Amino acid sequence: MRFPSFIATRTVALHEHNERAESDKVIRHLCEGKDVALVSDAGTPALSDPGAWLVGEAHKAGVRVIPVPGPSAAAAAFSAAGFPSARFLFAGFLPAQGAARRKALESLDVPWPVVLYEAPHRIDETLQDLAGRFGAEREIVIARELTKKFEEVARLPLGRLRVSNARRWIATRSRPARSCIGSATFRWRRRASRSW
């Protein structure tokens, strides 16, 4: 992971494979009175990104945790979606496997927009599952590379995006990215019959 050159102190990578071990070291530094900043190169730490374990351990150790507001793909995608609602549900990443993903979609039957994260290599399958569950006419917003140079937001019916091959659509609209994550905001509108 490359950090901007303006960070002039030691940096430590924190990811799903080392978060617990590295967190112990970071907590020791904090208990010694040193200052530590948890930053992310994309998104918000601990929000579908590493950091929750470290923050929890800091609280347990009696360390003061101070959030510094920054970019959040979920909030940015919701604000750019244009779906009128006072709230949204952030569902994070759906399960990678098809059957588990379809089961998870069943729990997203809520009367407000839902924000999901999805990896580019799974977007076609996820869109097929969404269209199968909620119908091709359901409006979707796909937002990618938010707060970055190649940011893009598109709103269209699920069926149109599925037909256009979403993976190809995403790939042709930005530079290749090793860790690209797309955010999708879906508006669930309850009908009187509660059928989709």
Domain-embedded: residue 10: yes
| Model pLDDT, residue 190 | 37
Closest CA to 82 of 185, 11, 189, 158: 185
Residue 101 banded pLDDT, cuts 50, 70, 90: very high
Q: Which domain holds residue 125?
A: 73-186
Shortest CA distance to 141 belongs to which of 164, 125, 161? 161
Nearest Cα to Cα of residue 113 among 5, 33, 195, 187: 187
Least confident of 20-34, 58-72, 124-138: 58-72
State the pLDDT at residue 51.
Answer: 84
Contact between residue 120 and residue 171 where contact means Cβ atoms under 8 Å apart? yes
Last residue of a domain, one of 70, 94, 120: 70
Let me know if residue 98 belongs to a domain. yes
Structural domain count of the chain: 2
Residues 149 and 137 in one domain: yes
C-alpha closest to that of 13 among 28, 3, 5:
3
Residues 78 and 39 in one domain: no
- The C-alpha atoms of residue 127 and residue 169 are separated, in whole angstroms, by 13
Give yes or no for residue 102 having a pLDDT over 90. yes
Same domain, 84 and 181: yes
Q: Are residues 65 and 124 in the same domain?
A: no
* Same-domain check for residues 53 and 84: no
